[in-house]
A and B are shown apart, each in its own frame.
Chain A
Amino acid sequence: MSLFTEFAIFVLAIFVGFEVISKVPTTLHTPLMSQTNAIHGIVMLGGLIVLGYANDPLEYLIGTIAVAFGAINIVGGFMVTDRMLGMFSKKPKPKADGDDKGGAGK
């Protein structure tokens, strides 16, 4: 791919990113950050590629750490985001009867 094609993709991605992310409400900014951490785990691809052509102990080490770092981002990022969003998507409890079922250990 030519440098300018890549640059065009980069510029368009900036606009898409701003357009989509500026619509995320404040309430969801923390899960947004952990989700973008997870998406950033895409760098693991780079780790895999460089590990592919590694051929001395130092390069094995560098590549393995890079892959491990990427995997931390991917697995940790998506899982913790899922955990947080689970808290937001809980069904609101019926309030009308004023009975807080299962609430604070009652």
Chain B
Amino acid sequence: MIAEAVLKPGGDAATALYIVSFSLFIVGLKQGTHPTTAKRGNMIAAVGMAVAVVTTLLLDGMGNWGYIAIGLAIGSTVGAYASIKVKMTEMPQMVALYNGVGGGAVALIAWSEIRHGISLGGAMPLEELIPTLLAGIIGSISFWGSNIAFGKLQEVIPTRPMAVPGQQIINAVLGIGVIVLAVIIAINNDPPSQGLFILILVAAAILGNLVVLPIGGADMPVVISMLNAFTGLSAAAAGFALDNVALIVAGTLVGSSGTILTMEMATAMNRSVANILFSGFGGAPAAAAGSGEQRPVTSIGAQDAAIKLAYADNVVIVPGYGLAVAQAQHAVKEMANQLEARGVTVNYAIHPVAGRMPGHMNVLLAEADVPYENLKEMDEINPEMPRVDVAVVIGANDVTNPAAKNDPNSPIAGMPIIEVSEANEVIVIKRSLSTGFAGIDNDLFYEPNTSMLFADAKAAAAEIAAEIENL
């Protein structure tokens, strides 16, 4: 056992080390702005974390080393195992789980703080009690909301929106109830009531469940980002409660990141965050599909597609979530390799909500060895589209629908899209003419310069690659 702790909590030395720690977080995040430096940035942030943890372990008052060792051992093992085993397609689930345990940790810490306050006797100072209450509420919402998000992404829970009748009213009652309980605890804080605090945790837990359950699969990028922001805020609140500057800054950084991503995702779907949270649109069953009228489409086979691609100069691949579902990223890369060997330029146009979380598609393609220089953002590729010979849409649907631009009455009107219809030719690889998440027909399929290749994404990409090789 360590004979004597060396640092005073809140003392100069501890605070100085915490400042070093959060500075390293900021430097680490700053290095994350470019793929070539991001890996080093992650290391720098990890060093910052090591500084923070060691500083805390050296604080006066640390104890119960056996329990600390157990917690560290279990957590590190689980974290390390999961990070090695997780497939890149499963990253959204993993981040949802990490959001969840982060929120859960904060809720538990808040509970402990309340018990500590009671055991000290007398009134708990409000500047400590209020952040503790906030940490408990936000932590509990994040924990349960993230678990539901995980369940939906893992498809343990149906991904379609599930709403209880009178949902909005129940949510409102729960939300107001939580606040009222918090105010009661704060007023009668001599000592604060543990029973009411547990009631708050439970009510917030139900609220977390009810808020995420009705949200459909397609809106998951927004939900995950928002829960990320929530966990960050909860950590900052815990920092206020514990007078710990490292927690305040680190939590706020996470909160800012989650907030930025939430706003970007909502913009990419042309919807407000409130609209996503309070309407079950993002997984509306395709009931409204098929306006009845049959429109002609051009259907081609893999060989025709291979010829169109092989004799092009400039090809853009537009991947969507369907590509990830079909595990087609490696087959697509192989197709691109064949084209590049013939001198064709191949780029990838990635819509911000192409995956199940921000930047997900980029990671899937990077895993398949696509160089990041070839991953083009929507705003970068759209002006280039008229100079593209062939655009290949694989597993993407709504994000290529020209109705978003042309039809002001379309449910997706105004949504930013990848303007593939501007390219000279379009090949859409898709199993059928079925609709996307928005449940609406894609006008792109019926345009004269569009050819449909009805097949599974992975099989089609492999077949095209083989055909190109034989040309």
Contacts and interface: CB of A to CB of B under 8 A. Distances in A.
Contact of B358 (A23, A30, A60): A30
Interface string A8-21: 01100110111011
Contact of B83 (A20, A76, A92): A76
Interface in B93-117: 94-95, 98-99, 101-102, 104-106, 108-109, 111-113, 115-116
A81 B98 CA distance: 12
B153 interface: no
Nearest to A70: B105
A47 B105 CA distance: 7
Interface string A73-86: 11111111111111
Given A18-B256, A76-B78, A78-B46, A45 B52 contact: yes
A25 B242 CA distance: 34
A49 B94 CA distance: 27
A20 to B, nearest CB: 5
B42 A82 contact: yes
Contact of B362 (A30, A44, A59, A79): A30
Contacts of A45: 52-53, 56, 242, 244, 246-247
A66 B359 CA distance: 29
Given A42-B247, A66-B105, A79-B83, A84 B88 contact: yes
A6 B377 CA distance: 39
Interface in B258-273: 258-261, 264
29 contacts: A1-B245, A13-B248, A16-B256, A28-B32, A29-B357, A29-B359, A29-B362, A30-B95, A30-B359, A31-B38, A33-B258, A39-B254, A40-B102, A40-B251, A43-B109, A45-B246, A46-B105, A46-B235, A47-B108, A59-B112, A64-B67, A66-B71, A66-B109, A69-B102, A72-B78, A82-B42, A84-B88, A87-B369, A92-B371
B330 interface: yes
B108 A66 contact: yes
B225 interface: yes
A22 B30 CA distance: 10
Contacts of B71: 47, 51, 63-68, 70-71
Nearest to B363: A30
B88 A103 contact: no
Contact of B251 (A16, A42, A66): A42
A32 B75 contact: no
B105 A20 contact: no
- Which of A13, A31, A77 is most buried by chain B, counting CB atoms within 10 A of its CB? A13
A73 B98 contact: yes
Given A73-B79, A78-B42, A28 B244 contact: no
B75 A69 contact: yes
Contacts of A42: 49, 52, 235, 246-247, 250-251
B33 interface: yes
Contacts of B91: 30, 34, 80, 84
Interface in B214-270: 224-225, 228, 231-232, 234-236, 238-240, 242-261, 264
B341 A36 contact: no
Interface string B54-81: 0011010111100110111011101110
A98 B341 CA distance: 5
B62 to A, nearest CB: 5
